[in-house]
Amino acid sequence: MMEMTKINTALGTITPEQMGPTLMHEHMVLALPGWEHDALREPVEFSDLAKICADTFSEVKKYGVKTVVDASPNDLWRNAELNKAVAEKTGLNLICSTGMYYETEGISAYLRFRSQWVDIIQELYETFVHEITIGIGSSGVRAGAIKVATSHACITPYEEKALKAAAKAQKETGVPIITHTQQGTMGPEQADLLIAEGADPKKIVIGHMCGNANLEYQVNTLNRGVYIAFDRWGVDLLFPDNLRYATLLGLLGLGYADRIVLSHDCNARILGRPLVMPDFVQTLIANWSYTHIFRNIIPRLKQAGVTDAQVNQMIVENPKRIFG
Ligand SMILES: [Zn+2]
């Protein structure tokens, strides 16, 4: 008999069948490295933060969502205790990640320093495997996904090392890799690198693919046998939803419903000093929330003739297969 697949969540393991409707790439908070050194950062108690995140996340339950992947890597204040508290408060399955963000907004001085002297591919791999098999710190939470990222139009030597470590950890543990691409670039290159290092293409989700409306780029990436994520709905600041929508319709027309997942890359709170965005920015993120695709995008897809089966494939079946 085949061993049943168990998926790590903040509150223990679940089976693929228990995942249900799933958001594949969200965050609890956005916390860029260094926020905690700002003396005038907005003070926030852990219990208040857990309540803010739980209240915001609870909205997704109205639309039947059962599972959310928190794609925060270690260097973006990935917080297993917070995931645990939010999972307890909401009853949602929260899948925690292990991994590293792209160089410009991620790399720690610690890793930059060590990389002069040691093989950080090996050290990152050991961290990823430890967090997947043993746990994250003393939280008792095991990571259920590996998050890695690349820069705009290039993969830096540091990012290449992180991707290689991720591929090695994927191969050993079986958990999926979820990526960040920057401004609609490097999708095929990420897939090639990960696969060359031994990662299973069926366990790779190339992220933020909806930042590029070029169907040739999309199909080039899909030709590697990986999944792609249209996971920034509502962030018109980075790329217009209209073009995301047109690109997704094109790909569904080509028969790719079984290779695409949907999400928002949203957060409940930005940590640090309060940041007041100018009005034009506010307008360009007005729809950005954990429920935008259910309220606005899926109804619009259906108007264009996309079937319930195709939507179900992207929201339920694909996540189940990726984690199964
Ligand atoms: Zn993200």
CATH value at residue 271: 3.20.20.140
**Phi and psi dihedrals of 311, rounded to 5?**
-65, -45
Structure confidence by residue, pLDDT tens digits, 68-83? 999 999 999 999 999 9
297 inside domain? yes
CB distance 132 to 98 below 8 Å = yes
Q: How confident is the model at residue 316 (pLDDT cuts 50, 70, 90)?
A: very high
Mean pLDDT, range 20-49, rounded to an integer: 95
257 inside domain? yes
Mean pLDDT, range 297-319, rounded to an integer: 98
CB distance 98 to 136 below 8 Å = yes
Mean pLDDT, range 205-215, rounded to an integer: 98
Mean pLDDT, range 23-44, rounded to an integer: 95
CB distance 7 to 15 below 8 Å = yes
Distance 17 CA to ligand 1 centre (A): 25
Mean confidence (pLDDT) of the chain: 97
pLDDT at 3: 61
For residue 214, pLDDT over 90 is answered with yes
Structure confidence by residue, pLDDT tens digits, 136-175? 999 999 999 999 999 999 999 999 999 999 999 999 999 9
Distance 246 CA to ligand 1 centre (A): 22
218 inside domain? yes
126 inside domain? yes
Rounded (to 5) percent helix, strand, coil in the chain: 45, 15, 40
Cβ atoms < 10 Å from Cβ of 134: 10
Distance 238 CA to ligand 1 centre (A): 13
For residue 34, pLDDT over 70 is answered with yes
Distance 107 CA to ligand 1 centre (A): 16
Range of the domain at 140: 7-323
Structure confidence by residue, pLDDT tens digits, 218-263? 999 999 999 999 999 999 999 999 999 999 999 999 999 999 999 9
2 inside domain? no
Distance 99 CA to ligand 1 centre (A): 12
For residue 2, pLDDT over 60 is answered with no
Q: How far is CA 82 from CA 24, 26, 89, in A?
A: 18, 14, 11
Distance 36 CA to ligand 1 centre (A): 20
pLDDT at 95: 98
Q: How confident is the model at residue 4 (pLDDT cuts 50, 70, 90)?
A: confident
273 inside domain? yes
**How many domains does the chain contain in total?**
1
CB distance 14 to 7 below 8 Å = yes
For residue 286, pLDDT over 90 is answered with yes
1 inside domain? no
Share of the chain above pLDDT 70, in %: 99
160 inside domain? yes
Q: What is the DSSP letter of 10?
A: T
For residue 210, pLDDT over 60 is answered with yes
- Where on the phi/psi map is residue 145: left (φ > 0), alpha (ψ -120 to 50), or beta? beta
Q: How confident is the model at residue 215 (pLDDT cuts 50, 70, 90)?
A: very high
